[in-house]
Amino acid sequence: MSTVSTFQYLFQAMTPTGSKTLGFRAATNEHQLADDLRREQLLLLRSWKLPVGGSPPARLPLADEAALNDQLTILLSRGVPLIDALEVAATVVHARSKARIMRLREMVAAGDSFSEACKKLGAFDVVTIAVYRSAERTGDIAGAARRLADSAKRRLSIRGKAITVMIYPAVVFSISILIFVGLLVFLVPMIAAQLRQMKITPNAFSQSIFSLGEWVSTNLGLSMLIVLGMGIGIIILRKRAIQGLLALANRVPAISRLLLTVEMTRFFSVMAAMVKSGIPLSDALATATAVLSSPKLRAQFAVLQKSLVEGGIWRSLVEKVDELPLATRRLLIAAERAGDLDSAFDGLAKDMADEVDVRSARLLAFLEPAAIVLMFLLIGPLILAIAIPLMTFRSG
C-alpha cells in the first residue's frame, strides 16, 4: 500500500488566549492540517498550500523514534494497553511529532493493526514496520519496541560521532572563509591603493589578487548575488553534491574505512532487530540490504539473499561476501552452526560501534592538522600578495 504525498502549508491559527499566529506545517490535506493543529490547541483560520510538489511523508526523527519505542517498551511490558501506551508516548516526543503519534493512536483505536497504522502514517521505515508486523504475530510488541529502541540509540550515537568528527574542520573552514572575505574586501583594496600612491608596481601574482579584491569591493552587491546563486545551486543539487563528496571521501583510506564501519554497524543493528523478532533470515536480509549505501556491499548481500532463497547454504554464501572482514565471516558461520545468529548480529553491531569510536578518534586526529593546512592554503595567498610588494619595496 503506497503512502500519500504531503504538502507544505502556510497557515494562520488562533491560540487558546485568542491571539493569532502564523506558521508552516506539512500535511496531506487541509483537513489533516486542522486536526494536527487542534491537537496542539490551535484553531485553523486560514491556510495556503505552497507551490511546491508533493513529497512522501517525512520520517519520524530518529530521537523521537527512540523515545517512542522506549516508552512503549516500559508501558507494554507492564500490561498497559497499546492505545493508552501511544497516548503516553505522544508526550515524550517533540511537539512536531506529537500530532503524528496521536494520529497513529487514532488509527489503532479505529481497528488498524499497529504495523498497518505505522505503514499508513508513513513515518516509519520498512525495517520498523516489518519488526512490528512480526511482533504482532508473536504477541511481543514490547520486545520489538525494545530492540528498535536499542537500534535507534545506536544509530543516534554513530550520528553524534560523525557530527563530532566534522565540527572541528567545519568551524576552522568557516572562520577561514570569513577571514578570507574580510581581507579580500577590505584590506586588499586599501593596500592596493596605498601601493599606487607610493608608485610601487606589484608583481603579476600580487596584481591579480589586488584586481580581484578591488573588483569584489567595488561590485559588492553583484558579488553577494553570485554567492547567493551558488548557495541556491548547491541546495538544489545537494544530493549530487553529497554523492560527489562521498565518492571523494571513499578515495581517502581512513574515511572510507570509517564509512564502511558505520555501514556495517547500521546493517548488523537492523539484522539483529529483525531476526530477534522472528523474521526469516532471507526476508531480513532483503530489507536490511536497503540501508546500505556501499554499492559493492549491497550487491554482495543482494546475491547472498537471492542465493539463500534459492536453497543455498549460509556458510558457503557468506564466504563470498569478501567486503566483510574474514573474522566477521567466520563468526557468522560459527553462529549459524550454533543456531545463534541473532546474538551474533547484535554482538557485531556493538563491536562495530566500538570500532567507529576508535576510527572516529583517529580521523579527528588527522583532520585537525589538515584543517590548519587548509586554512593556510586559503588565506596564505592573500598574505603573500600583500607581503611581497612591501618586502620588495623595503629591500629596494
95: in domain: yes
131: in domain: no
Residue-level pLDDT at 2: 42
Domain of residue 268, CATH code: 1.20.81.30
Residues 258 and 339 in one domain: yes
118: in domain: yes
Residue-level pLDDT at 70: 93
Residues 210 and 169 in one domain: yes
Residue-level pLDDT at 381: 85
Residues 30 and 95 in one domain: no
Residue-level pLDDT at 249: 66
365: in domain: no
Residue-level pLDDT at 364: 80
13: in domain: yes
Asked whether the whole model's pTM tops 0.75, one would answer: no
Residue-level pLDDT at 4: 54
Residues 179 and 271 in one domain: no
26: in domain: yes
Residues 381 and 348 in one domain: no
Residues 40 and 76 in one domain: no
Residues 215 and 303 in one domain: no
Residue-level pLDDT at 3: 45
Where among 124, 146, 178 does a domain terminate?
Answer: 124
Range of the domain at 304: 254-357
Residues 160 and 210 in one domain: yes
162: in domain: yes
Residues 287 and 332 in one domain: yes
Q: What is the pLDDT along the chain (396 residues), one digit of tens a residue?
A: 344 566 778 888 888 888 888 887 777 778 878 877 887 778 888 888 876 544 555 788 889 999 999 999 999 999 999 999 999 999 998 877 888 898 899 889 999 999 999 888 888 888 888 888 888 888 889 988 998 888 888 888 877 877 777 787 778 888 888 888 888 888 888 888 888 888 777 888 888 888 888 888 888 888 888 888 887 877 777 667 666 766 766 677 777 788 788 888 888 888 888 888 888 888 888 888 877 877 888 888 889 989 988 888 888 889 888 888 888 899 999 998 888 888 899 899 888 888 888 888 888 888 778 888 888 888 888 888 888 887 776 555
Residues 33 and 72 in one domain: no
Residues 300 and 264 in one domain: yes
- Total domains, the chain: 4
221: in domain: yes
* Secondary structure in 3-state letters for the chain: CCCCCEEEEEEEEECCCCCEEEEEEEECCHHHHHHHHHHCCCEEEEEEECCCCCECCCCCCHHHHHHHHHHHHHHHCCCCCHHHHHHHHCCCCCHHHHHHHHHHHHHHHCCCCHHHHHHHHCCCCHHHHHHHHHHHHHCCHHHHHHHHHHHHHHHHHHHHHHHHHHHHHHHHHHHHHHHHHHHHHHHHHHHHHHHHHCCCCCCHHHHHHHHHHHHHHHCHHHHHHHHHHHHHHHHHCHHHHHHHHHHHHCCCHHHHHHHHHHHHHHHHHHHHHHHHCCCCHHHHHHHHHHHCCCHHHHHHHHHHHHHHHCCCCHHHHHHCCCCCCHHHHHHHHHHHHHCCHHHHHHHHHHHHHHHHHHHHHHHHHHHHHHHHHHHHHHHHHHHHHHHHHHHHHHHC
Q: At what angle do helices 326-338 and 341-395 cross, to 10 degrees?
A: 160
Residues 24 and 118 in one domain: no
